Structure 1
Amino acid sequence: MSFARVRALVVVGLLGVLALAFVITALVRDTQGKAGTAEGCPEGWPLADVTLHEPKDVKINVLNATDEPGRAGAVADDFRNRKFQVKKVGNAPAGIDDVAVLRYGPKGVGSAHLLQAYFLNNAEPAYDEKRTDDVVDVVLGSRFQQLATTTEVNQSLGDLGAPVAPPGSCPAPEDK
């Protein structure tokens, strides 16, 4: 074997050892290993469920805040056809100029994120840290026309990204 080949093998071997040492050092000194978990959360902050649920696991109340009677019932039927668990259907005080308002607490963050896609990210979020249930109130506003199609929902979820814990809350640890 020539001296040039030996020298090249030594250089490549040395680079491999240095790369391995660098990777090991980075893994040992990683300070973000617990990022996105409840560890380090300030005392008293609620834990937000940031899991993106399937429609069959999402509980909703559908409320009509428009002047059109029966709108909540029709939309509730649409949600039932899409496998959502509709708990209550009723009316809310009129005067909402948005497409919809999504009212939820820490346990409903992931569910509200999914529902946001059904309104093509045009629903107004209304997070209440004191709310203790996992039900999301869907309040239909005067600008509501129809729910998004399955393709539009999937595209909207891609645009929205992953659910994020609202300010003043911490992401709950994932169940494994």
Structure 2
Amino acid sequence: MEQTISLYPEDQKEMYALLKAQMKAVLDGEHHVIPNLANASALLNGALKNINWVGFYLKNQDELLLGPFQGKLACVHIAFGKGVCGTAYSRGETVLVKDVHQFPGHIACDCDSRSEIVVPLFHRGQVVGVLDIDSPLLARFDETDARELEEIARILGNSCDWAELPGLQ
């Protein structure tokens, strides 16, 4: 099996600093939601270690609909308030789950996932979607991940023209 070497620093703070700088550079001057989220998922997938899925679910009428992602096949529709993604959306706050098997109502799209973090995306004070990241490791995510991913979500929220998504109205 071929191994790839990460170009990202081992230090978590340095890695996130580089990732945020790259995110800003990739999004600079581009406002289309889908390509921005596609590039964001690729950047996150390349930077974050020990993850098996990273992507977005976007508000579409009265549910969350699968958006750009990196990883295995995923659930397409998630009801508000259901699973980790629907819970983060409904609460409007980050949900960090150290063991998905202990989360009531967890939606198992990939049986290899053991921990998860979901960060809401905001535009003009409204939740427009969520960033979802899964890991095959228990307790993969911590408060630093939460804080840094919330900053990345702010960058995305401010960089995209969310009005182009018809389901948001």
Is this a same-fold pair by TM over 0.5? no
- TM interval, shorter chain, is under 0.3
TM-score by length of 2: 0.25
TM-score by length of 1: 0.24
Q: Which has the larger radius of gyration?
A: 1
